[in-house]
Structure 1
Amino acid sequence: MSTITTCWRGRVFAAIDEERRTMYLETSRLELLPLDPDEHTEALHEVYGNPAVMRWWTCPPLASVEQTRQVLAEEGTRPGAALWTLRRTADRSVIGMAGLLGGVAIPGLTWILAEQAWGHGFATEAATAVIDHAFTHMGHGRVEAWVESTNARSIAVCRKVGLSERGRLVQRYEHRERPHEMIVFGRASRPDPISVVHLQPVVQVADVTATATLLCAALAARVSFTVGEPADMAGIVLGPWSTGPGVRLVRCSPSTCAPVEIGLDVGSGFAELYQSVLGSGAVHVEPPVDQPWGRREFAFRLPEGHRIVVSTPN
């Protein structure tokens, strides 16, 4: 386990609130220097300009030192941000950045390492120091890390520093052609049992079996359980796993079924899913349209009038 010591650094990046100023941190192999764009950009540009390093980042490789300086300055001035430049104690070389993202509801754990520093545990060491500082000295009760589902290295770091999966969502960065799946990892400063682990809408339908068949054909769903003969209730899971996003169908009189709207966020396969809905026999299928809130959506209705909106980042 890394030993972490803290002391006040004499020169602090001026844009940081004096009451929340970033402290100098030290671990067994690293110095975490409060990030100063004027002092550290040139060394960090080798990291931010590397396509391999930036593969999972929120923007493409940065083309110039000045562009890197602007990005670092903007990140550092967000409310609540605390960012550090990582320097190896052994040779005093700058190998990356770590810290807490600002301007978010829950502090966002972030890190980026030079390619030559991969595989030596530096990210885990730096993230451990940041989390300890966030809980011990900044008074935060939680930290989160949003990691792309294909980023195996960062997922491993999250697990090593005690973060566990809290949820998933679909995003698309402006420089990407397709949306991608993000895993939200989180850790609380004290034991934080979760009482709600799944949310499932309950939809009233006249014919549970027929509606289940329609949803399976339209959305590549599957039936997880049924109750009664004919079915009074059925569980529908949207995905290949034992549990996940889904809906519960319950039988009621057609005259008492109250129409509802259900939103379904998807990543890849949006166009294929639309074609699947068209071929399923669903009624009132609305064609895909780009919405002003940054989503591309289509919708269809169940016989009782329930509207299902399928959405993806555009």
Structure 2
Amino acid sequence: MELKTSRLDLTPLDPEEHADALHAAYGDPVVMSWWTRPATATEAETRQLLAADAAQPGAALWAIRRAGDPAAIGMAGLLGGTAIPGLSWILAESEWGHGFATEAASAIVEHAFGAAGHDRVEAWVESTNTRSIAVCRKIGLTERGRLAQRYEHRDRPHEMIVLGRARHPEPTSVLHLEPVLPVTDVAATTELLRAALAGRVSFSAGEPPEVAGMVFGPWSAGPSVQFVRKPRGECAPVVLTLDVVAGFDELYAAVTAAGTAGVEPPVREPWGRREFAFRLPEGHRIVVSTPG
């Protein structure tokens, strides 16, 4: 099904027909610096990439063309093989700055909620990709969460923002999930994690503290944990995992310098993560994890 906007024609993607023109985007390292894969070396490689993406279950992809112009300047669509349809687009660098990505993405969202009958769409955008974040916001996608990611051609992990939109406005029933750990000494535990993981006490009640909250990050809300004072016999050990993007090695050095107990050195896990761990006095195991 062809889609049209005031300036664009969106034609169902044909890897054989469109690969040559789209190689201007897929073969450009600047454009592909935001992509999940490195730039393609040849038009044949671009054709293979497009064919693989188009073959994913549920994929609906279009070549972007200026109205009346047969040459493709980019690709946009809904990715296949995802639980929620994933909005995606790419444009040749020469076409940036004209609003084409916003125009194409808006048409695809309208199609998703109309003819395609989807209830939701979402886009995963790197936190430093301000152009794509702006596109998402212009077409009504809002932030739904964040996660650490690392693509094989990147030399370090990066932060991804998950932005989404529902066909009908819907409240988010769970805004935040906060674990509560029983500890014998709330003040000592918060001080330990302040030194080891740069945590910040968000509230504390009692003298000595009976309960306290700790936030990891500089903002008023974010990843957090509560501590409540209990007798040692009521402090059954649990495992708490912290997912980090930057500063993994520095955090390990800080944990070691803080004199924490049971420090386990960094290892590369079979599931593609680098992790180290340490224990609180009650036996709680804190795992710090980053994409490997």
User: Which category of TM-score, normalised to the shorter sequence, fits these structures?
Assistant: over 0.9
Q: Which residue of 1 aligns with 2:241?
A: 263
1:143 to 79, 98, 121: 121
Query: Helix, strand or coil for the counterpart of 1:43?
Result: helix
Equivalent residue, structure 2, for 1:195: 173
The corresponding residue for 1:69 is 47
Structure 2 counterpart SS, 1:247: strand
In structure 2, the residue corresponding to 1:52 is in which secondary structure?
Answer: helix
2:225 corresponds in structure 1 to: 247
- Match of 1:56, SS state, is coil
TM-score between both structures, scaled by the size of structure 1: 0.92
- Residue number in structure 2 paired with 1:238: 216
**Cα offset for 1:90?**
5.1
Tell me the alpha carbon deviations over residues 93-124 of structure 1, each in whole angstroms, 9 at most, x when there is no partner.
Answer: 32100000000100000000111111111000
Matches within 5 A, 1:118-197: 118-197=96-175
Cα displacement (A) at 1:91: 3.8
Quote how far apart the aligned CAs of 1:292 are.
0.5
The residue number in structure 2 matching 1:81 is 59
Structure 1 residue 25 corresponds to structure 2 residue 8: no
Structure 1 SS opposite 2:33:
helix
Letter in 2 for 1:150: T
Q: Give the TM-score normalised by the residue count of structure 2.
A: 0.99
> What secondary structure is seen at the aligned counterpart in 2 of 1:196?
coil
Distance of 1:211 and 1:84 partners within structure 2: 54
Report the equivalent of 1:16: none
Residues 99-110 of structure 1: matches in 2 within 5 Å?
Answer: 99-110=77-88
Aligned residues of 2:144 and 2:163 also touching (Cα < 8 A): yes
Matched, 1:282 2:260: yes
How many angstroms apart in 2 are the aligned matches of 1:205 and 1:86?
Answer: 58
- Return the offset for 1:186: 0.3
Letter in 1 for 2:108: V
Within 2, Cα distance between the matches of 1:77 and 1:61?
20
Which amino acid in 1 is paired with 2:35? Answer: W
Matched, 1:229 2:207: yes
CA contact (8 A) 1:27 1:129 kept: yes
- For structure 1, the 5+ residue unaligned runs are 1-22
How many residues align? The count is 292
Residue 91 of structure 2 is matched in structure 1 by: 113
Where does 1:292-311 land on structure 2 (aligned, <5 Å)? 292-311=270-289
* Partner of residue 290, structure 2: 312
Indicate the RMSD between aligned Cα atoms, in angstroms.
Answer: 0.7
Q: Which structure 1 residue ranges, 4+ long, deviate > 6 Å from structure 2?
A: none
**CA deviation profile, 1:156-188 (whole Å, cap 9, x unmatched):** 000000000000000100011100000000000
Task: Give the aligned partner of residue 39 of structure 1.
Answer: 17
Deviations 1:39-68 (A, max 9, x none): 100000111111111111111111000100
For 1:108, give the aligned amino acid: G
Instruction: Look up the equivalent residue of 2:84 and give its one-letter code.
Output: I
Q: For residues 91 and 30 of structure 1, what CA distance do their matches in structure 2 show?
A: 9
- Letter in structure 1 aligned against 2:22: L
Equivalent residues of 1:29, 1:90 under 8 A apart = no
Match of 2:34 in 1: 56
